[in-house]
Chains A and B, each alone.
Chain A
Amino acid sequence: MKIIILNTAGIPIYEQIKEQIKTAIYSGELAEGEMLPSIRQLARDLKISVITTTRAYNDLEQEGFIANVQGKGCFVKPKNNELIREQALRDIENGFASAITAAKNAQISKNELYNIFEVIAKEEAYE
């Protein structure tokens, strides 16, 4: 598993960790039942604070991606498609809400916004 933290990204470190672990789970790189590095070991490896890794893992646990077994460690939970879908919908809704707020502030029309969506979808090969 690889986790790369970029300091200049502007995204909080715990968010970056969460996203990268989620991506690894979605893509199958992290298999069901696989054990993640311990909270403390991950903090040590990435040279960040324990609270940061704890926050990332806690969030992932709450969102249903991993399970913390007392005394053993954190394991990847079986892909719960329902949960994945719910989480994805939440991410999409938040993304749209941010885009609409920005568009409103800059007085960009709804049509312009749709066009932007099409352009990006094409770039990302999203059919």
Chain B
Amino acid sequence: MNNILEIKNLSKHYEGFSLNNISFSVPQGYIMGFIGPNGAGKTTTIKLILNMVCPDSGEIALFGENTTSNSSEIKNDIGVVMDLPFYVEDWKVKDVEAAVSPFYSHWNSNVFDNYIHKFNIAKNKKVKELSRGMKVKLMLAAALSHDAKLLVLDEPTSGLDPVARDELMDILGEFVTDENKGILFSTHITSDLEKIADYITFIIDGRIEFTGEKDKLLESYLLVKGGLSDLTTEQKKCIVGYREHSVGFEGMIKTDNIKQLPFDTAFEKISLDEIIIYMNKEAKGHE
């Protein structure tokens, strides 16, 4: 299986925040969910991939080619969608097309028109007059109209209502029916990824906590709940993000560690959201 995107030992240091030795890959034909709390380093990683920012060390390879040789041709095969539109706010749809189409080798005007029509984007409105959902769909229409193989989305669903989110996820599902394409989807709204993502990379405080199959991640942790006096201090150490309240405790535990806890402790399957929450609690708890 080929990797559309490969990141190896990427590092970038800012004052107050560092991305440390990040490595992960997006295999061809799959959706990689890139999750983590706000400020974890998702956007910084994406900026590094797009060459908006220079890495301090590490390598990025797109479609097998190392990008540090700065080849911009590769952007022909990448479609980008962000949470905020990067178009001039006074542009209309035709201005957007006139602005970007000359740069792409495979721009297809018909495909673009079809998406504009399908998304119901008003052609006579300026970008600033479009609703948030429409702005995202406009970027998506452009991203899908030049035969891109990799879609990179940075928090596209934040601020979207459930209907718009569902429509977006539908289009992404359509995109990967072609096994030569791939998606890197960065978000802090993990419910979008819960069912559709194939792989998950989980980043927190600038380092990768997990990267691999989503099912494996969900199977490797469990939610655990019990009474206040149920656990010994030793046992409490197994619990990630341990939280006590007046009528009990809750936390997350690695599935392998269940046997260390009392027989009648309550366990539950965990969601991606909860994994982030408890990991974050654990990380903050050590500060």
Which A residues fall within an 8 A CB radius of B? 10, 12-14, 40-41, 43-44, 47-52, 55
B214 near A47 with CB under 8 A, answer: no
CB distance from A11 to the nearest CB of B (A): 11
Q: Which residues of A contact B198 (CB under 8 A)?
A: 49-51
Please list the 5 inter-chain residue pairs (A to B) with the smallest Cβ-Cβ separation, ordered nearest first. Answer: A51-B198, A49-B198, A40-B177, A44-B173, A48-B195
Give which listed residue, B170, B173, B269, contacts A10 with CB less than 8 A: B269
Cβ contacts A to B, 7 pairs, < 8 Å: A10-B269, A44-B174, A47-B170, A49-B196, A49-B198, A50-B31, A51-B214
How many chain B residues sit at the interface, stated as a range, is 10 to 19
CB distance from A13 to the nearest CB of B (A): 8
Give which listed residue, B173, B176, B215, B269, contacts A52 with CB less than 8 A: B215
Which B residues fall within an 8 A CB radius of A? 29-31, 169-170, 173-174, 176-177, 179, 195-199, 213-215, 269
B177 near A49 with CB under 8 A, answer: no
Residue of A nearest to B197 (CB): A49
Alpha-carbon distance between A47 and B179 when the two chains are bound, in angstroms: 16
A44 near B177 with CB under 8 A, answer: yes
Q: Which residues of A contact B179 (CB under 8 A)?
A: 40
A47 near B173 with CB under 8 A, answer: yes
B215 near A47 with CB under 8 A, answer: no
A51 near B30 with CB under 8 A, answer: yes
Alpha-carbon distance between A40 and B30 when the two chains are bound, in angstroms: 10
Give which listed residue, A47, A51, A52, contacts B169 with CB less than 8 A: A47
Give which listed residue, A13, A14, A43, contacts B173 with CB less than 8 A: A43
Alpha-carbon distance between A39 and B22 when the two chains are bound, in angstroms: 31
CB distance from B169 to the nearest CB of A (A): 7
Q: Contacts A40-B29, A50-B29 given; 19 further ones with Cβ under 8 A?
A: A10-B269, A12-B215, A13-B195, A14-B215, A40-B176, A43-B173, A43-B176, A43-B177, A47-B170, A47-B195, A49-B31, A49-B196, A49-B214, A50-B30, A50-B31, A50-B198, A51-B30, A51-B213, A52-B215
A50 near B176 with CB under 8 A, answer: yes
Alpha-carbon distance between A6 and B209 when the two chains are bound, in angstroms: 30
B196 near A47 with CB under 8 A, answer: yes
